[in-house]
Structure 1
Amino acid sequence: MRATGGFHGRKIQKTGGSTYIISLPKNWVTSRGLHAGDVLTFAPRPDGSLQIQAEELGSAEVVRRVVPISNDMDEEHLLRRLIAEYIAGSTLLEIRTTTRMSARTRDIVRGFAQRVIGPEIIEETAESVILQDVVGPNPLPLPSVIRRMHQMARAMQSDAMAAFHSADASIAKDVIERDREVDRLHWFMEKQVNSALRDARVLTSLSVTLPDCSTYLLASRLMERIADHAVRIAGTIPLFQKERPPAAMVAELERMSEAAATALSEALDSLERRDIEQANTVIDAAHSLVRERAHLLQEVSTKRGRMAVGLAYVLESLERSALYAGDLAEIAINHAVETPSAMVGRPMAAPLPKP
């Protein structure tokens, strides 16, 4: 039968009384260098399709990239380039300069290797550093990554508010440093999703569907943003060293923080359970917190100077965290509708124990 729109139609034939067979497109067989007697692998997909591979699962192609750089390259620019190469799925990355690589450049590359999951330095020369991804295609299930990011983001927000309550610079510093752990998990999520979109074998090994990949990536981005706002709250502590905010205002902000954290946890639960009713409850709660923010903003406007700036930053970050929880709940609704047979009550994946 003719191919239409890139799809090849073949009639199912029956042989031997119990075996069903189909023929393979000749162009595909020859382009893959296959011959009679070669073995193909088959993998049923959750959407009902059947995946056929010419290689054994796990023999994914090694992606080698050479990244030419200069020693005078801006540090942030170099880090962004290396992170982009990592997210793109490069399994073997050679960072190369045209002249001897400076100590500063090597330090930046080493710092990058410490900030991401997988790449390790396996070779160095005068002009290059070579990194290889040593963790394999599926070291962490994607649902576990999301649950871990949630635990970290919620703990960071709680500790940031503790630092705000006591004006403790050491707690604030710890919150800021922990943001790197959330970033590395988010970059790892981006890398895994990109790999799954590019290679169906990776998608199979992750035991997820393409809609799952989109959902997890969106959820990961929201967790990363919430962690960023925890860092922003921690960064306000120097503004309160000379003058402490009123106790009543601190109590209101702490209550708002706890409500936002609860909304985030319930949004994640609704995503895992595909529970539309629970997700709608979270969205309503997030909108309620936004209305409360308007009332608190009036009180903040009565303050002056550094006090007013610090309180406004804290209030805005808590509002954004609540809205991100609402966004996650909307994602949960969308994902539940994509899989109507499991809209309520059945987990999307086995969740990790809650903290």
Structure 2
Amino acid sequence: MPSHEGPATAAVPTPSAPDTLWFTRCPVPTATGIAADQGWLGREFAADGIAVRSLQDVPPEVAADHHYTHALTGLFREGGNVPALWARSRGERTRLIGLTWIEERQVVLVRAGSGITEAGHLRGRRLAVPRHGIAIDFWRAMALAGLHGALSLAGLTLDDAELVDVPAAPEGGQWAAELAALRDGVVDAVYVKGALAVEAARRIGAEVAVELDEAPDRRARVNNGTPRPITVHQRLLDEHPDLVARFLAVLLEAADWAAGRPAEVARILSAETGAGEEGVAGAYARGGHRTLHLDLSEERLTLLDQQKRFLEQHGFLAGPVDVHAWTDPEPLRAARTLLAARRTEGRAHGG
């Protein structure tokens, strides 16, 4: 008697695990940097035969431009939101799986004795806006957003000042061209942030006119690193969600570990940023070692959406990005559950 069953459906093979997971982070405070320093990322996946490597530790021809494009499918990226949003706007299949908010001391600098001492004094002034010959000019985006935030404290906009293009210096490091333009009187004010900027500003005797960190409304400080996204490629998430959850669980552990060790975190930040002890202390708020935790709260997503709209307005994105549709909260939920279980069993990296 003939069978009425249809043809057997072939089982879909489970994709084999990658032999290497990659991570990349900016030279700023990150849970990824803490976990890497402690050796926890390599330890987490060693038993699986999976190597964990940093893009920052391999030759340029290997790293390519993956820190910006996120075209490497096995990559976890904890870095500025400008390249992350840009990559998504170009159609790269990334997913947002975490956000941090870490104060990095954002200021507007002026020449000593200029008389510019508050946000309102920036009206009509020449403000430096760097221009770099790179695919996504996140330096320019940072300056525009920072100056916009400073002007907003006085009810002003970028249209109320004169924006002066400053070509990037071929050598000299971060902010070099803008600070040189300030020193030489080409511009009246410069936006800077972070440890190296604090040290560079001190070398030329610049004064702080606007401390964005003191603004009670954190919307004035929304910029490339505030909030800072953690992204992963959709393919890795689809094929190996367990690996993604485990990676995030290590970052959660690292943030918890850092919260009780300010001196250790300062040491790691000095190595990550390339700045000295004074620069690190001047750039990052006291208690910053307790703020490395990642989440996907509605507040942080709203702040990221504010940044996205600013970047769209100023032509930095190739296409529209829906921040909420980009977000996948499941990996972070799974990571928290995993970490709680490990701690119950006494198997957490950080004890």
Find the structure with the greater CA-based Rg. 1
Please state which band the TM-score falls in when normalised by the shorter chain: under 0.3
Structure-2-length-normalised TM-score: 0.26
Structure-1-length-normalised TM-score: 0.26
Greater RCO (CA < 8 Å, at least 6 residues apart): 2
Give the helix-richer structure, 1 or 2: 1
